[in-house]
Structure 1
Amino acid sequence: MKADTYGTPTEQARHRMGWMSATERKKDGRHARCATCRCFHWETVTNGWGGMNVKARCGHPMAAGETGHATTENAVCAKWELKP
């Protein structure tokens, strides 16, 4: 996963939101992370064998896609908001 001005629509959305990977977040000294953001949620999906998996998603209004875009628990963006 990455944020890129000229990448895929999802990468462009991450770039506009100031998204940082876990490594970038730690180097920047930020303690907030996606897992503690009010926009973070788990999406349940089925795999090809009928089993269930979950995917970490960012549901911020600026996120790409119908249910938001993929993220990781330890990433963060400039749109982070405290969970209620």
Structure 2
Amino acid sequence: MSRIAQCFSDLKANGRKALIPFVTAGDPNPSVTVSLLHAMVEAGADLLELGVPFSDPMAEGPVIQKACERALVHNTSLRDVLAMVKEFR
């Protein structure tokens, strides 16, 4: 069973709902992302959703659009995002 499936199975067994916060990698700047992910887990997040910033986030709402803009100011790339995930894990 995958870690995600195991998490949902455990939550269901305990009658709980999942808390899955979203953050755009590199927002407000790349040096903050990993510590922010750790803080969310320490605060009780069950799973995390890490968004990859992109230059044309038309399908996203204004909050995520602005987060992408802020991350891209720092040239946050997919390679950077994967490095953040590796450091976090």
**TM-score bucket (shorter structure):** under 0.3
Give the TM-score normalised by structure 2: 0.26
- For the pair shown, the structure with the greater C-alpha radius of gyration is 2
Which structure shows the bigger proportion of residues in helix conformation?
2
Q: TM-score w.r.t. structure 1 length?
A: 0.27
